[in-house]
Amino acid sequence: MYDVESITQLLEPIFPGLFGVKVTEVGIEKVLGELELREDFFSVGEVIHAGVYMTFADTLCVVGTLMNNPSSTQVVTKDSSTKFMASAEVGSVLKAEARAFHRGKSTMVWQVSIQNDAGKLCSIVTQTMQVLDPVEPEVPLPPITPPVALTPPPPPPPKPVAAPEPATEGEPDKSPA
């Protein structure tokens, strides 16, 4: 079973750790975390970029799903819905609580509430997580080949122009005058 220290070691060298997500409490029904807001997390108009909330929430949902499925290391987000209510300031710390709504063997549903330093609700994220069984391919996959450049077909050859037929004796000339 995972604890905060083992989760921290798992996340530290990969995107959530590099992003700065700190998991502060883990359980099968609840995961808590913190994220210090860096200057590069903000978008135009000095508001937090939406992807910051989603990355923070997604990380906590993955951790919660791993807590319920400790033998699996393959968890993916199947569905995500994010609602935005407020922002926060550079240097402040967002706090989040992820709660399990459904804890199945192959899917789990979590809802994450994210608050700013003042305790104001900034975002609610609901995610469905898929637990994948590791699959070894039975047959080696063929090597990936580069895509073939598509070239348009050559234009059709021009239609031959028919020469006027020569007039025979006794027939009037049909050629234009």
**Residue 173 belongs to a domain:** no
Compute the distance between CA of residue 87 and CA of residue 77 in angstroms, rounded to an integer: 24
**Residue 170 belongs to a domain:** no
Identity of the amino acid at 157: P
Compute the distance between CA of residue 109 and CA of residue 173 in angstroms, rounded to an integer: 90
* pLDDT bucket at 105, cuts 50 / 70 / 90: confident
Domain that holds residue 123: 4-131
Q: What is the pLDDT of residue 136?
A: 62
Q: What is the pLDDT of residue 165?
A: 75
**Residue 117 belongs to a domain:** yes
Q: What is the pTM of this model?
A: 0.75
Give the residue-averaged pLDDT of 100-115.
95
CATH number of the domain within which 85 lies: 3.10.129.10
Compute the distance between CA of residue 149 and CA of residue 151 in angstroms, rounded to an integer: 6
Q: What is the pLDDT of residue 171?
A: 62
Contact between residue 55 and residue 19 where contact means Cβ atoms under 8 Å apart: yes
**Sign of the Cα pseudo-torsion (18, 117, 126, 32, in order):** positive
**Residue 146 belongs to a domain:** no
Task: Assess whether pLDDT exceeds 80 at residue 23.
Answer: yes
Burial 137-175 (b: 16+ CB within 10 A, else e): eeeeeeeeeeeeeeeeeeeeeeeeeeeeeeeeeeeeeee
Number of domains in the chain: 1
Contact between residue 99 and residue 30 where contact means Cβ atoms under 8 Å apart: yes
The residue among 120, 123, 121, 124 whose CA lies nearest residue 111 is: 124
The chain-wide mean pLDDT, for the chain, equals 88
